[in-house]
Amino acid sequence: MKVKKLMVAEPAFCDSKTDLASVAHLLWENDCGSLPVIADDHKVVGMITDRDICMAAATKHRPPGEITVGEVIDGSVYTCRLDTDLDEAMLTMKQKQVRRLPVVDADGKLQGVLSLADIILSAEPHSAKAVKLSAASIMETLKAICSPRAASVPEPQKVQGKGA
């Protein structure tokens, strides 16, 4: 099955100049946890998540309305195409540990978003978009996404006390 069949077409999005309070509002209105970030030419340049907003608000010591998306995203984004096979998209999600993939055309312009939730909900036998996926395949993808990232686990610090 191709990604096009399961993706959310015409998703909400923002740009790098959008403030985080506005992004939070868009996330709430659209009942989602992340938004694609696009450039003026509609090409995807990143993703912003609800977690990114929380971490920026906590670490930048400014109100979310004063922090822009461009200050928060790191520019890394993993995408898939409309004609990408679902298995290949799930492999990207596993390898890159992401729950959502922007779907782009040949020019990198946003066409939709494929989420792990879309995949899981389509595995329901009574779903209008039913696909044949094994529970093991979905579970393997979810486990890989949820596994701690090696780079994000801080090294334990040595504490030196008196007399040591």
Give residue 120's pLDDT.
85
Per-run averaged pLDDT (10 residues), the chain, 164 residues: 93 97 97 95 96 95 96 93 95 93 96 92 64 70 73 45 43
Pick the CATH number of 3-146 from 3.30.1360.30, 1.20.80.30, 3.10.580.10, 3.40.50.620: 3.10.580.10
Tell me the C-alpha distance between 17 and 39, whole Å. 10
**Residue 99 has which token pair?**
């729950």
**Annotated domain spans of the chain:** 3-146
Give residue 131's pLDDT.
62
**Residue 104 has which token pair?**
């782009």
Describe the strand order of the beta sheet including 100-104 as a list of residue ranges. 8-9, 110-115, 100-104, 80-81
- Residue 134 — φ and ψ, nearest 5°? -80, 150
